[in-house]
Amino acid sequence: MKPPLLALHVFESAARHGSYTRAADELHVTHSAISQQIRALEGTLGVALFAREGRQMLLTKEGTLLFKRIQPALRQLGRALTEIEEHKRAPSITVTTLQSFANRWLLPRLGKFQKLQPDVAVHIQASQDLKDLERREADIAIRYGIGSWKGCDAVKLMDEWLFPVCSPAFNKGRLPASPKNLKRFRILRDDCDMEWNAWSSEAGIDPAEFLHGANYSDSNLMLSAAMAGQGIAIGRSVLVSEDLAAGRLMPVCDVIARGPFSYYIATASQVAKSPQLLAFEQWLLKEAAAFERREMRALKVA
């Protein structure tokens, strides 16, 4: 008994999604093509693999057993084919990270790596979502969090330090005399209040008393609004370093708090790293260490 590989691939997708329609979308075929492949596989095996319950396609006992056995094998096969294909192409790295980090930290430094590795093409995917590294949607991710992602190995890249920032022209240069006076000024926020809350705790003030100004979908937009003189934003040291040096932003006071999260490099646990990926990872760690040393001195953080 040798079920065709295509039918097994179609079955794995349908079983993973619990839907013929979603499997069809993923594989770029019609719903009818998915149904035909599943029927052919069931005919070869002599058992039903799915049972319809309302609009749902549920795995039978035999379907569940088959899914558990073939999914790891299909992943290994996919990895092998991907590695062969990569050997045929020019060396490249796909990096997924947040848009704010890409714009404000990674891209200004990326030329240094490309001088060291001129034959390696680096592709940047700016996204809020963590791409599936095991399925090779990206080779490496740089994320802001606690350093724990399923199926990934994570190495800390650097910490964040928090302090309020604004444009030098904001309020005609008249800034709060103390952190407690911040509640009289227009405060800018992004979708996560954790940074403002962490800094407020260090400053000994209640963030609920702040005069809210505007909310933005990410910190990149929030900092752009601050540079435009629209209010006071919470600055993350990694993201505002270039703007502070260029005079586009300035600290509002001297209270500094450690951020609740750190930046991490994440790679797939079961995927071998190419030489160019290892070189990029080591370059990132070296560049981040140098940045942190300079930043700690500039912020006078012990």
Which tens digits make up the pLDDT trace of 42-64?
999 999 999 988 777 899 999 99
What is the full DSSP assignment across 180-200?
GGGGGSEEEE-S--HHHHHHH
Of 88, 103, 119, which residue sits at a domain end?
Answer: 88
Identify the band that residue 148 occupies on the pLDDT scale cut at 50, 70 and 90: confident
Residue range 73-80: average pLDDT?
A: 85
**222 near 190, Cβ under 8 Å?**
yes
> In terms of domains, do 155 and 265 share one?
yes
Q: Percentage of residues in the chain with pLDDT exceeding 90? A: 53
Q: What is the pLDDT of residue 175?
A: 85
Identify the band that residue 88 occupies on the pLDDT scale cut at 50, 70 and 90: low
> In terms of domains, do 39 and 18 share one?
yes
Identify the band that residue 130 occupies on the pLDDT scale cut at 50, 70 and 90: low
> In terms of domains, do 81 and 217 share one?
no
Measured distance CA(116)–CA(97) in Å, rounded: 22
**With 0-12 CB in 10 A as exposed, 13-18 as middle and 19+ as buried, what is 26?**
middle
Of 39, 54, 88, which residue sits at a domain end?
Answer: 88
> In terms of domains, do 44 and 182 share one?
no
> In terms of domains, do 99 and 144 share one?
yes
Residue range 156-169: average pLDDT?
A: 94
> In terms of domains, do 166 and 251 share one?
yes
> In terms of domains, do 184 and 252 share one?
yes
Q: How many domains does the chain fold into?
A: 3
Top mean-pLDDT range of 100-104, 173-177, 187-191:
100-104
The tokens for 57 are: 């396609």
> In terms of domains, do 66 and 112 share one?
no
Q: What is the pLDDT of residue 206?
A: 87
Among the listed residues 222, 229, 272, the one whose alpha carbon sits nearest the alpha carbon of residue 79: 272
Top mean-pLDDT range of 135-139, 212-216, 273-277:
273-277
In degrees and rounded to multiples of 5, residue 169 shows phi and psi of -90, -5
Q: Which amino acid is at 196?
A: W
Of 62, 88, 114, which residue sits at a domain end?
Answer: 88
**With 0-12 CB in 10 A as exposed, 13-18 as middle and 19+ as buried, what is 85?**
exposed
Q: Could you tell me the end-to-end alpha-carbon distance of the chain, in angstroms, rounded to an integer?
A: 68
> In terms of domains, do 252 and 185 share one?
yes
Specify the CATH number for the domain of residue 76. 1.10.10.10
> In terms of domains, do 241 and 165 share one?
yes
Q: What is the pLDDT of residue 92?
A: 85
> In terms of domains, do 82 and 197 share one?
no
CB atoms near residue 278 (< 10 Å): 12
34-71 CB burial, b ≥16 within 10 A, e <16: bbebbeebbeebeeebbeeeeeebebeeebeebbeebe
pLDDT at 86 over 70: no
> In terms of domains, do 148 and 165 share one?
no
Q: What is the pLDDT of residue 89?
A: 64
Q: What is the pLDDT of residue 269?
A: 85
The tokens for 270 are: 């079961």
Residue range 4-26: average pLDDT?
A: 90
What is the full DSSP assignment across 137-152?
S-SEEEEEESS--TTE
In terms of residue numbers, what domain contains 19?
A: 5-88
Residue range 84-111: average pLDDT?
A: 85
pLDDT at 302 over 60: no
Specify the CATH number for the domain of residue 152. 3.40.190.10
